[in-house]
Amino acid sequence: MDNRRNYIDISVTRRRCNKFRRRILDVSLQVQALHIGSAYSCVEIVDCIYFELMQQGNGDVSPDTFILSKGHGCLIQYVILEELGLLTRSDLDLYCTSSGRLGVHPDYGNPGIAASTGALGHGLSMSVGMAYAEKATGRNGTVYCVLSDGEVQEGSTWEATMMASSLGVSNLVAFMDNNDLQSLGRTSVTHPSFYPVPDKYIAFGWDAVEVDGHDSQAIYSAVVNRRGDRPLMVVCKTIKGKGVSFMENVPMWHYRSPNRDEYLKALQELDQVQS
Amino acid sequence: MRNAFSETLYECAKANADIFIVVADISPAGSIAKFQTEYPDRFINVGVAEQVMIGIAAGLALKGCKPFAYTIATFSLYRAFEMVRDDLGFQNLPVTVVGMGAGVIYSGLGGTHQAQEDIAIAGAIPNMQILAPCDPLECADATRYCATQTKGPVYLRIGKAGEPNFTENALEPVIFGKLRYLRRGTDVCILTYGVIMKLAVQVADQLQAMGKSVSLVSCHTVKPLDRAGIVQALSNHKHVIVIEEHVPQGGLAPQTKQIAWDTGAKCALQTFTLRDEFIHNYGSHDDLLAAHGLSFDHVMKTVT
């Protein structure tokens, strides 16, 4: 349904994602608390939305909207907004400090942040309202919303799921960062009835597809090849902490910051991928 | 009162294409049918799903629309509380959350449908404004305010249906954030808001019949409260009476007491509220109020 090219330049995308992971690592050194694992698991998703999917508008304003419903992963959004010039290097350097304006969750009013998130189960409802407004006002922008898999346990998310298809917001594209890891364990163990995931959305009148969430081309293709007559859920199979071996699938990295040795080791791994 | 709300909202929606209403399987009667027929795209019924009602309203407001979210007060404010706080309060969005049938108006439906602590809950949220009109006429003014204001969220506490008007001959118009004198006197001042104005009018009439000079005030803007106006009321009268259909904590009564203490008020001050109890009585609205001491006889016995 989309008049876009079928393929993205995957080498460019990989370099960009690696650069973002390294920048996140830099920022993570300066603070005690963050969600580096959560950010790393959705790097390719958020990168694809900003650089391959969202339309370029006049100046900084895209006619499309990005909502990070899993607000705790916002370091990836911050480093992308820095890359786009909406946030400054100083903004990132002052992350979580008394003189800065960026915290652990996105705050509406900061440049490039379309809604405050952090409490889970809010973003999809707001995205439905925004997508509906885009249609009702004839602007017809697309709303891209990234959810965590854990937050889909919130009942409010299912209220929004039901309403998105009932209201026919075909301009809503949601992504689930399905890293299968939340604070107290594997989602697939605690909530086996959640699987297979796409079926749930199809049953609710959505278009749904499952992809490798670190394969930018697969994410891109899922969106540009969507049906287009209903909301889309792209279930992205991801690895929490993706990109740094000792962070991958280790729940501790939901919250922890690396120490100096861990930082250097992580940087080395990312540099190897880069080269 | 809800008819006045829906008629006014319909009029506002005719003039402003940004006005939306999101309801949760409860609809204000009257003109809302016209709204729905003429502007079907701006009428959204989410069904029995209040969290997404507030979330969608927030999303609409983030895109520049002026949404109203409407259902029974317990559900619009309590069920969806975190959405009201985060999506509307924290983001400071101009969304009106209508709490219909607030207080204990749903007298026969029991405690699950009674919102007797809504002012305390809504009032605790930074950025939240609270309007509680006392009759259909005031409700129309309050609705017009909500449809045009851009400051932030509003909790609009309204009654149900069939309330009489008390403000046809009010001395002053409705001005947001200001006390509204319906009558002016020098001896006694009755401060109240919402549909319990009915009881306040009865008390005022009786006190006047007994030779007192009585002020009767609609405190329609419960937040931000007109503190300067309260200070004046406390200093200009010998006796101030607060009548409130709300639990004793977090409403007009404790705020008036606080202002009286802070300013060293010399007048007598008596407050009448619901008790800090859930209500297990049934019967009429008046029956429930009376069970908590909000009856004409009890108030008159106490104030004279």
On chain B, the residues whose CB falls within 8 A of the CB of A127 are: 59
Strand pairing report for A143-148 and A65-68: parallel
Q: Is residue A3 part of a domain?
A: no
Q: How confident is the model at residue A2 (pLDDT cuts 50, 70, 90)?
A: low
The CA distance from B160 to B145, in Å, is 20
CA dihedral B299, B302, B303, B304 (to 10 degrees): 120
pLDDT of residue A1: 46
Strand pairing report for B43-45 and A232-237: unpaired
pLDDT of residue A275: 67
Q: How confident is the model at residue A3 (pLDDT cuts 50, 70, 90)?
A: low
Phi first, then psi: give them for residue A58, nearest 5 degrees. -75, 130
Residue with tokens 């605690």: A190
Q: Is residue A137 part of a domain?
A: yes
Asked if A126's CB is within 8 angstroms of B59's CB, the reply is yes
Q: Is residue A2 part of a domain?
A: no
Q: Is residue A75 part of a domain?
A: yes
Q: For A138, how many CA atoms within 13 A lie in the half-sphere containing its CB?
A: 2
On chain B, the residues whose CB falls within 8 A of the CB of A131 are: 59
Q: Is residue A74 part of a domain?
A: yes
Residue B106 C-alpha, separation from nearest chain A C-alpha, in angstroms: 26
* Count of domains for chain A: 1
Partners of B66 in the beta sheet? B19
CA dihedral B99, B143, B50, A135 (to 10 degrees): 180
pLDDT of residue B18: 97
The CA distance from A122 to B36, in Å, is 27
State yes or no: pLDDT of A33 exceeds 70: no
Q: For B19, how many CA atoms within 13 A lie in the half-sphere containing its CB?
A: 23
Domain, as residue range, for A35: 10-274
The CA distance from A121 to A69, in Å, is 7
- What radius of gyration, in Å, describes the C-alpha atoms of chain A? 18
Which residues are CB-contacts of A66 (< 8 A; sequence separation ≥ 6)?
A: A46, A49, A50, A54, A77, A114, A143, A144, A145, A146
Nearest to B87 among A126, A132, A155 (CB): A126
pLDDT of residue B8: 97
Q: Is residue A4 part of a domain?
A: no
Strands, E assignment, chain B: 19-23, 43-45, 66-72, 96-100, 129-131, 154-157, 180-183, 188-192, 214-218, 221-223, 239-243, 268-272
Q: How confident is the model at residue A60 (pLDDT cuts 50, 70, 90)?
A: low
Question: Which domains, from first to last, does chain B contain?
Answer: 2-157 (3.40.50.970), 180-303 (3.40.50.920)
Q: For A77, how many CA atoms within 13 A lie in the half-sphere containing its CB?
A: 29
- Residue of B237, B15, B226 whose CA lies nearest to B130: B226
The CA distance from A171 to A132, in Å, is 8
Nearest to B60 among A124, A132, A155 (CB): A132
On chain B, the residues whose CB falls within 8 A of the CB of A172 are: none
Q: Mark which residues 147-166 of A lie under 8 Å from B by CB.
A: 155-156, 159-160, 162-163
Asked if A156's CB is within 8 angstroms of B52's CB, the reply is yes
Higher pLDDT, A35 or B208: B208
On chain A, the residues whose CB falls within 8 A of the CB of B19 are: none
Asked if B65's CB is within 8 angstroms of A126's CB, the reply is no
Q: Please state, in angstroms and as integers, the Cα–Cα distance from residue B265 to each residue in A255, B178, B203, B231, following that order.
A: 53, 20, 23, 8
pLDDT tens column, A162-178: 999 999 999 999 999 99
Strand pairing report for B221-223 and B129-131: antiparallel
Mean pLDDT on A75-85: 96
Sheet-wide strand order for B268-272: B180-183, B214-218, B188-192, B239-243, B268-272
pLDDT tens column, B40-71: 999 999 999 999 999 999 999 999 999 999 99
Instruction: Supply the CATH number for residue A43's domain.
Output: 3.40.50.970
Which regions in chain B score pLDDT beneath 50?
none
User: What's chain B's average pLDDT?
Assistant: 97
Q: Is residue A58 part of a domain?
A: yes
Residue B54 C-alpha, separation from nearest chain A C-alpha, in angstroms: 8
State yes or no: pLDDT of A141 exceeds 50: yes
Q: Is residue A5 part of a domain?
A: no
Asked if B41's CB is within 8 angstroms of A130's CB, the reply is no
State yes or no: pLDDT of A222 exceeds 60: yes
User: What's chain A's average pLDDT?
Assistant: 93
